Amino acid sequence: EAKNKGRNRVVSFAWSMKERFHRIHEIETGLRRAVANDELVLKFQPIFEVKSGRIVICEALLRWNHPTLGQISPVEFIPLAESTGTIEEITHWTIDRACEAAAHWPEDVRLAINISLAVLNSGALPTAVIEALVKTGLSARRLELEMTESVFLDDDSHTQHMLKALQQIGLRMVLDDFGTGYSSLSYLRSYRFDSIKIDRSFMTGIATSREDQAIVRAVTLMAEALDMEIVAEGIETHEQLDYARDAGIHNVQGFLMSEPQSVAVMTDMVLRNVTIPAAIAAKSARNG
Ligand code: C2E
Ligand code: MG
Ligand code: MG
Ligand code: MG
């Protein structure tokens, strides 16, 4: 009996491994056609200024409708796009489409785009960005590039060179998921980001965890002293919003105010000048 159970477990484990490899293979090959087949969709999530309540940035977030596997999360396909090299084509597509959308938004609303380390290092990024800006008429100061601390992990001088080249175009540089990347603070001396996004994991327990409160306050003070804007991501509750406000965080992003939206809804929100209270009210009305 026990022996049988054990054997069944081994068999089902073997099958699930096989299925996992099959899925990874399907995703990797599918990624090569995703752009050409028009399977990618861009969503935009608003980031609100705490003080005025207004939308100041919209972050472009990729979605993929796979013909047989259905919707696939970027958490799953971005790492595979990075390891197979398709990330570059996907990112250039994203830059083009997102700039096109943002060109229709009010002048004081910025666009944020996520950039993988592999794309930063490839060297074609500054040209791709400049071409998109010229084509759409979006000004460089309205475009932000979000990167994680991984850009500092191996202290690569080529990476530093690329960062400076992008900043010279006039783009704003944002450090995403701050506090999760195992990198040292010393890089903040040599390369100045314009903005820091505190990782969602620090906001999750902010209402109850003294540790999270201390970390968020300290990071906010540091950012302020270094003239960097500070954003909190993953705000899901009123309590988290209140803590962010009390800690002196400038901008907030999260499901409490708005999930990522279609380009049509996002454009409508910025044109109607939706504020934090209006966004929260609209969400709770929808949820009944
Ligand atoms: P990220 O850049 O840190 O983006 C924020 C993620 O948190 C998004 O997930 C967003 O939907 C989610 N989020 C926002 N507010 C809340 C909240 O209140 N609660 C919770 N639980 N989640 C919230 P998404 O869209 O699934 O994207 C995941 C990650 O995939 C992104 O993390 C980013 O690293 C990557 N990604 C997405 N689009 C792109 C892209 O175009 N290029 C690259 N290189 N990476 C991308
Ligand atoms: Mg991001
Ligand atoms: Mg983030
Ligand atoms: Mg994140």
Of the pLDDT bands very low, low, confident and very high (cuts 50, 70, 90), residue 86 is very high
CB 30 less than 6 A from any atom of ligand 1:
no
- Alpha carbon nearest to ligand 1 atom 21, residue: 234
Of the pLDDT bands very low, low, confident and very high (cuts 50, 70, 90), residue 1 is very low
CB 49 less than 6 A from any atom of ligand 1:
no
More confident residue, 154 or 200: 200
- What pLDDT, on the 0 to 100 scale, is given for residue 16? 83
- What pLDDT, on the 0 to 100 scale, is given for residue 14? 67
- What pLDDT, on the 0 to 100 scale, is given for residue 186? 78
SS (H, E, C) 68-84: CCEEECHHHHHHHHHHH
Of the pLDDT bands very low, low, confident and very high (cuts 50, 70, 90), residue 9 is low
Residue 202 Cα to ligand 1 middle (Å):
15
Strand pairing of 195-198 and 229-232? parallel
Residue 29 Cα to ligand 2 middle (Å):
25
Ligand 1 pocket test target in 233, 241, 259, 280 with most atoms within 8 Å of CB? 233
- Encode pLDDT of 56-73 as tens digits: 999 999 999 999 999 999
Find the helix or strand (DSSP H, E) in which 172 lies. strand 172-178
Which listed ligand is nearest to 234 at the C-alpha? 1
Residue 104 Rama label (left phi>0; alpha psi -120 to 50; beta): alpha
- Encode pLDDT of 178-206 as tens digits: 988 777 777 887 788 999 999 999 999 99
CB 234 less than 6 A from any atom of ligand 1:
yes
Coil, strand or helix at 286: helix
Q: What are phi and psi of 229, to 5 degrees?
A: -75, 150
- Encode pLDDT of 207-254 as tens digits: 889 999 999 999 999 999 999 999 999 999 999 999 999 999 999 999
Coil, strand or helix at 145: strand
Contact status, residue 242 vs residue 23, Cβ threshold 8 Å? no
pLDDT(273) > 70: yes
Residue 53 Cα to ligand 1 middle (Å):
22
- Encode pLDDT of 30-50 as tens digits: 999 999 999 999 999 999 999
**Six token digits for residue 9:** 């477990």
Q: In percent, how much of the chain has pLDDT > 90?
A: 79
**In the predicted model, what is the mean pLDDT of residues 82-109?**
97
- What pLDDT, on the 0 to 100 scale, is given for residue 168? 94
- What pLDDT, on the 0 to 100 scale, is given for residue 8? 54
**DSSP annotation of 56:** E
- What pLDDT, on the 0 to 100 scale, is given for residue 276? 98
Ligand 1 pocket test target in 114, 145, 203 with most atoms within 8 Å of CB? 114
ipTM over 0.95: yes
Find the helix or strand (DSSP H, E) in which 4 lies. helix 2-34
> Ligand 1 atom closest to Cα of 197?
3
**Six token digits for residue 177:** 């998921």
pLDDT(127) > 50: yes
Residue 9 Cα to ligand 1 middle (Å):
35
Coil, strand or helix at 27: helix
CA–CA gap between residue 60 and residue 52 (Å, rounded): 22
- Encode pLDDT of 99-111 as tens digits: 999 999 999 999 9
DSSP string, 33-47: HHTTTT-EEEEEEEE
The residues that bridge with 60 in the sheet, in sequence order, are: 44, 113
Per-residue buried b or exposed e for 165-175, using 16+ beta carbons within 10 Å of the residue's own CB: ebbeeebbbbb
Ligand 1 pocket test target in 39, 61, 89 with most atoms within 8 Å of CB? 61
Q: Which residue, among 287, 203, 196, 286, has the nearest Cα to 250 in the 3D structure?
A: 196
CA–CA gap between residue 2 and residue 10 (Å, rounded): 12
